Amino acid sequence: MQVAIPIFPRFTALDAVGPYEVIQRLPDVEPVFVAEQRGEVRTENGFLGMVADATFAEVPAPDVVIVPGGFGSRALLEENPLLAWLRAVHPGTRYTTSVCTGALLLAAAGLLDGLTATTHWGAVDVLQELGAVPVHQRVVEHLDRRIITAAGVSSGIDMAIRLVALLEDDLAARATQVFIEYDPEPPFDAGHPSKVGDDVMARVAEYRNARR
Amino acid sequence: MQVAIPIFPRFTALDAVGPYEVIQRLPDVEPVFVAEQRGEVRTENGFLGMVADATFAEVPAPDVVIVPGGFGSRALLEENPLLAWLRAVHPGTRYTTSVCTGALLLAAAGLLDGLTATTHWGAVDVLQELGAVPVHQRVVEHLDRRIITAAGVSSGIDMAIRLVALLEDDLAARATQVFIEYDPEPPFDAGHPSKVGDDVMARVAEYRNARR
């Protein structure tokens, strides 16, 4: 089972690596990082290079697609090879999924028209402009359409465990969860803007502008 | 503030990328992936290449060290350049930390002698053999020694948010948590062997042996 993870300049590393780490535990899964060209792709703020091992042309029929987001997704909303590849491969996938602003790319490819979907809290407006119906939910599944979207960054871990349950069974999903010891204990209850005050959001804006 | 993340063949991607994604949000942090040699390092099962941008020699005085684990850590418990580097830089760090079996490397470097520490549930015996006192806890802090260890794989995210609180303040920590939308909703309550049955652990063993 081939699981393709497309990457692009300024993607968010954890969007891709969270689901990757879950799904690569399945012995019959072959994950592949794919991009317009083979080679190094730098993540969001340039501090980390990850390697694409295949071009889009070399991965014409993946069984599963997981699209990460990142600041760089905003530069890919007009026609480009990634969107063309998403449109071309989606009819043959078992599941086409996104994490964070990866949903914007699914939407820009026309795969979310009129569908409820989720994304990073900071991208809800753009998701709507692109034709989807944003909902505040950690994971949104349209199993009849074989489309799953996950919220911001870390939500890809939750999504991927659910994906394993769909691809294999609950036992497999629980096994991957034990394997990565996903027994979260966030030190704060601060995982969404609805849970924090203006002081925290001011700090978020400050950090965001510093590294946009 | 330089945050060094040493990587080595067959490290676990999420061990490194979880904390990286949290800490890189701070505008005054410069994360750097470091290895014996610059260039691509393949993770656990070989499916992902991540790039080390600096050699150990080029990072002689990091402010923070985050050591990931992975199957490859078992090959590094005898004297080697990574252990020598850990010993050399630790006296100058603000915090020296580990995720998963990265704790084995801290222990092998002599930094955990007689200290309570945590690691991946599958490596508790080895951690003890290496002179630490394993405890079942998601994050173990020795602030007087400037040492923090985190449990398996995904626990690095919890640890890194706490690390931001120590390095900056609670507001900063909450801001990073909102940023990565870390509001976990695991689809199962199956994050540790103590929470699952023999059927799940048999599946874990099967997956583990398939890709050891």
pLDDT at A183: 98
SS3 B204: helix
Q: Are strands A49-52 and A39-42 parallel, antiparallel or unpaired?
A: antiparallel
Chain A contact set for B208 (CB, 8 A): 179
CA distance B153 to A127: 31
Q: Which of B21, B24, B175 sits opposite A200 (nearest CB)?
A: B175
pLDDT at B212: 66
pLDDT at B43: 97
Q: Give the position of tokens 């010891």.
A: A181
What is the C-alpha end-to-end distance of chain B, expressed in Å? 36
Chain B contact set for A204 (CB, 8 A): 175, 178-179
Q: Which of B178, B190, B199 sits opposite A193 (nearest CB)?
A: B178
pLDDT at B211: 76
Residues B115, B96: contact at Cβ < 8 Å? no
Q: Are strands A147-150 and A139-142 parallel, antiparallel or unpaired?
A: antiparallel
Question: Of A195, A144, A199, which Cα lies nearest the Cα of A166?
Answer: A144
pLDDT at A37: 98
B100 is catalytic: yes
Question: Of A47, A15, B66, A25, which Cα lies nearest the Cα of A33?
Answer: A15
Give the residue-averaged pLDDT of B88-107. 98
**Residue A67 is encoded by which pair of tokens?**
């699209």
Q: Is the pLDDT of residue A135 over 80?
A: yes
Q: Contact A184/B181, CB-based, under 8 Å?
A: no
Chain B contact set for A184 (CB, 8 A): 154, 157-158, 182, 184, 186, 191
Question: Of A96, A95, A191, which Cα lies nearest the Cα of A83?
Answer: A96
pLDDT at B117: 98
Residues B184, A175: contact at Cβ < 8 Å? no
Q: Contact B182/A153, CB-based, under 8 Å?
A: yes
How big is the CA angle at B60 (ends B55 and B62), to the nearest 5 degrees? 100
Distance from CA of A211 to the nearest CA of B (A): 7
The residue from A4, A35, A52, A100 that is catalytic is: A100
Residues A111, A87: contact at Cβ < 8 Å? yes
**Residue B174 is encoded by which pair of tokens?**
């909450």
Q: Is the pLDDT of residue B105 over 90?
A: yes
In sequence order, the β-bridge partners of residue A31 are A3
What is the percent of chain B where pLDDT is above 70? Answer: 100
Q: Contact B50/A53, CB-based, under 8 Å?
A: no
pLDDT at B22: 98
CA distance A203 to B54: 31
Mean pLDDT of chain B: 97
pLDDT band per the 50, 70, 90 thresholds, residue A211: confident
What is the percent of chain A where pLDDT is above 90? Answer: 97
Between A and B, how many CB-CB pairs are < 8 A? 247
CA distance B9 to B11: 6
pLDDT at A212: 67
Overall pTM > 0.80: yes
Q: Which of B17, B182, B188 sits opposite A13 (nearest CB)?
A: B17
Q: Which of B151, B185, B193 sits opposite A138 (nearest CB)?
A: B185
**Residue B71 is encoded by which pair of tokens?**
């199957």
How big is the CA angle at B64 (ends B110 and B183), to the nearest 5 degrees? 110
Q: Is the pLDDT of residue A87 over 80?
A: yes
CA distances from A209 to A138, A202, B117, B164, B193 (A): 25, 11, 37, 19, 42
Give the residue-averaged pLDDT of B70-80. 97
pLDDT band per the 50, 70, 90 thresholds, residue A89: very high
Give the residue-averaged pLDDT of B90-101. 98
In sequence order, the β-bridge partners of residue B49 are B42
Give the residue-averaged pLDDT of B32-44. 97
The residue from B4, B14, B100, B109 that is catalytic is: B100
Alpha helices by DSSP H, listed for chain B, are 13-23, 81-89, 102-108, 124-129, 155-167, 170-179, 198-210
Give the residue-averaged pLDDT of B62-91. 98
* Structural domains of chain B, ranges and CATH numbers in brackets: 2-186 (3.40.50.880)
Q: Is the pLDDT of residue A15 over 70?
A: yes
Residues A137, A156: contact at Cβ < 8 Å? no
Residues A158, B191: contact at Cβ < 8 Å? no
Nearest CA in chain A to B170: A188
